[in-house]
């Protein structure tokens, strides 16, 4: 087994770089590392089944590393170094370098789900609508993400929510077909997005996607739906603002092409097709911190 260190020097504030992780890994006896990067991928052909790819970066880098691991049959280890680090939050490892490196040294691993879409995979959440704005703003002005970190996601949403009237879309799943005007549609594989915002009932070992769609509403109505969802751990059944469906696949089509983001990066436009592939990726873990709960037998559907 070979350990490969894939470090993104541009992730986060740059402090948790390759040298930072080399030092901490050495303390747990991991010193024989082959260093690689995403810009020159000639090393990928040498990655063998059973090798471990240690990805030091944000969710975008982890997404790219996961794809490489899937193709090679390698194990992914996440060394969180980005702004949000949302996939890492699912893994049940305390976000302390020593604890992370000890988990890698112990080779504690589980098989987790990945979501596949038209142009690739995602580990966390795909968004259409309002949820795409933080990523689009960060891409347009990367300095805000560097300056404000996780707070930039919330600032972007607050700034935009007052000016969004929603868009017309059809959401197809194995449970229901939902039509109408939507403010935001999230398709979750993992339980976290945007620097720790939680998707109730989602988790990387659930074997299904969680589709959460939000209809346009007054600001008080949106706040009430948010608070009730947080308190209940699911959308309130008598609330028509938030709709939640569990399905192994979904298809989203819109009247006009809409931007799609996956794992915090712009990934294309609608139509968008996604499917869950259970137990596909081997990942170094601690104890899982999924927010998963048993899905309701019947999906909550609003027509």
Cβ count within 10 A of residue 138: 22
Cα–Cα dist 62/77, whole Å? 9
The string of pLDDT tens digits covering residues 235-285 is 555 556 788 999 999 999 999 999 999 988 899 999 999 999 999 999 999
The string of pLDDT tens digits covering residues 44-68 is 999 999 999 999 998 989 999 999 9
Cβ count within 10 A of residue 94: 11
What was the pLDDT predicted at 84?
Answer: 87
Which range (8-17, 38-47, 171-180, 239-248) has the least confidence?
8-17
The string of pLDDT tens digits covering residues 92-140 is 999 999 999 999 999 999 999 999 998 899 999 999 988 776 555 555 4
Token duo for residue 103 = 């988990």
Cβ count within 10 A of residue 5: 21
Using the predicted structure, report yes or no on whether residue 153 has a pLDDT greater than 90: no
Cβ count within 10 A of residue 115: 27
If we measure between CA atoms, which residue out of 123, 131, 112 comes closest to residue 62?
123
The backbone region for 93, taken as left when phi is positive above 0, alpha when psi lies in -120 to 50, beta otherwise, is: beta
* Domains and their CATH numbers in the chain: 3-113 (3.40.50.10330), 120-278 (2.60.200.40)
* pLDDT confidence tier of residue 203, bands split at 50, 70 and 90: very high
């Amino acid at each position: 087994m070979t350990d490969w260190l894939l470090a993104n020097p541009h992730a986060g504030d740059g402090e948790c770089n390759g040298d930072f992780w080399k030092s901490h890994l050495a303390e747990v006896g991991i010193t024989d590392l082959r260093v690689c990067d995403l810009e020159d991928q000639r090393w990928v052909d040498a990655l063998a089944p059973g090798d471990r790819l240690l990805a030091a970066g944000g969710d975008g880098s982890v997404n790219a590393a996961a794809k490489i691991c899937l193709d090679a049959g390698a194990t992914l280890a996440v060394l969180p170094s980005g702004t949000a680090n949302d996939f890492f939050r699912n893994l049940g490892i305390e976000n302390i370098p020593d604890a992370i490196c000890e988990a890698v040294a112990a080779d504690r691993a589980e098989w987790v789900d990945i979501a596949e879409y038209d142009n690739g995979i995602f580990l966390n959440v795909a968004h259409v609508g309002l949820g795409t704005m933080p990523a689009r703003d960060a891409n347009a002005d990367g300095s805000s993400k560097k300056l404000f970190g996780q707070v930039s996601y919330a600032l972007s949403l607050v700034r935009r929510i007052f000016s969004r009237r929603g868009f017309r879309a059809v959401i197809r799943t194995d449970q229901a077909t939902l039509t109408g005007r939507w403010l935001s549609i999230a398709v979750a594989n993992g339980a976290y997005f945007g620097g720790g915002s939680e998707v109730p009932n989602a988790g990387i070992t659930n074997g299904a996607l969680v589709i959460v769609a939000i209809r346009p509403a007054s600001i008080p109505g949106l706040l009430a739906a948010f608070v009730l969802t947080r308190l209940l751990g699911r959308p309130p059944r008598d609330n028509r603002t938030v709709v939640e469906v569990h399905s192994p696949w979904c298809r989203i089509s819109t009247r006009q092409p809409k931007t799609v983001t996956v794992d915090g990066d712009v990934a294309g436009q609608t139509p968008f097709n996604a499917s869950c592939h259970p137990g596909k990726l081997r990942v170094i873990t601690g104890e899982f911190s999924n927010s998963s709960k048993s899905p309701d037998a019947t999906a909550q559907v609003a027509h």
